[in-house]
Amino acid sequence: MGKFEIKKDKAGEFRFNLKARNGQVILSSEGYKAKPSCMNGIESVRKNSQLDELFERKETATGHRFNLKSTNGQVIGTSEVYTTLNAMENGITSVKKNAPDAGIDDNS
């Protein structure tokens, strides 16, 4: 099973990463000033990750990446850069599979 890891960054903000079963980060959040907001972000990923239309696929100068958006259009998580379109689609599939039941490791 995948897991969300919460950590505090150098600026004192809370961030989460969604990790797949193999430990690879498949989605990273923005910084949140308060932990409850970070927890709300995790719940939003769990809920919205099942709706394909909320995954914004993007081409970058070095490959492909995606954003997961909430129903109000706000970005709630961003992927790494993938070298191929197929690898990015596999990343989206992994988020859909892992997010709903992922546990939470709070390292903040």
Surface-to-core class of residue 84, CB atoms within 10 Å of its CB (0-12 exposed, 13-18 middle, 19+ buried): exposed
Burial of 95 (0-12, 13-18, 19+ CB in 10 A): buried
- Model pLDDT for residues 12-60, shown as the tens digit of each residue: 999 999 999 999 999 999 999 999 999 999 999 999 999 999 999 999 9
- SS3 percent helix, strand, coil of the chain, rounded to 5, is 30, 35, 35
Q: What is the pLDDT of residue 108?
A: 86
Which has more pLDDT, 1 or 35? 35
Average pLDDT score over residue span 78-107:
96
Q: What is the CATH number of domain 3-102?
A: 2.30.29.80
Please report the pLDDT score of residue 93 as a whole number: 97
* Per-residue pLDDT at 1 exceeds 90: no
Taking only the tens place, the pLDDT of each residue in 59-83 is: 999 999 999 999 999 999 999 999 9
Does the pLDDT of residue 87 top 90, yes or no?
yes
